[in-house]
Amino acid sequence: MILPDFLRPGLRAVFCGTAAGRVSAARGHYYAGPGNRLWPMLAETGLTPRRLAPHEDHLMPEFGLGLTDLAKTAFGSDMQIPPEAYDSEGLFQKMMQNAPRYLAFTSLTAARLALGRAALAPGAITPDPRLPDVRLWALPSPSALAKSHFRADIWHEFAREIQR
């Protein structure tokens, strides 16, 4: 396992990426790459009371939020991850065990791979029968590598949804 899961039963939302990036794997913390927008967006949207640093990732459950990745045994950019490293069934088992209200994929790629859907748009996703009680969202990737596709408005929309 490259990074540990930060999960517990009853979370408001779990954020799921494809896999730890190279910098995150080296530092041992989620979304640790320079220019990654996850931590600033969580604070900006009010999902966390302040901007957390990557080394504070273990605090996420205190705010009703969790972290995991689709690939737990490989790291790097999406193109570097071997297809067999993605574990959708493992993700679904974790979600069934922990029953978060929302599962938010932190990239369209993660959502497509996990759900086996060829086309998805950012925002709320049609429910999956394997997770009937979990609302699904696909968020624009906060990675600096995806800077040109980032849309803060979708993150704000998601935050408003889960804070209802």
Query: Which class is domain 13-162?
Result: alpha beta
Q: How many CB atoms lie within 10 A of CB 60?
A: 23
- pLDDT of 164 strictly over 90: no
pLDDT on residue 161: 97
**What single-letter amino acid sits at 157?**
E
pTM for the model: 0.96
Distance of CA 4 to the CA centre of its chain: 13
DSSP element (H, E) containing 67: strand 65-75
Name the 3-class secondary structure at 74: strand
- Convert the pLDDT of each residue in 6-64 to its tens digit: 999 999 999 999 999 999 999 999 999 999 999 999 999 999 999 999 999 999 999 99
- Convert the pLDDT of each residue in 62-109 to its tens digit: 999 999 999 999 999 988 999 999 999 999 999 999 999 999 999 999
pLDDT on residue 162: 96
Instruction: Determine how β-strand 123-125 pairs with β-strand 13-20.
Output: unpaired
> Residue 137 corresponds to which tokens in the numbers above?
């969202």
pLDDT on residue 121: 94
DSSP element (H, E) containing 75: strand 65-75
> Residue 17 corresponds to which tokens in the numbers above?
């990426």
| pLDDT interval class at 139 (50, 70, 90) | very high
- pLDDT of 146 strictly over 80: no
Domain boundaries along the sequence of the chain: 13-162
How far is 69 from 3, CA to CA, in rounded Å?
8
Average pLDDT for 112-120: 94
> Residue 71 corresponds to which tokens in the numbers above?
């690939």
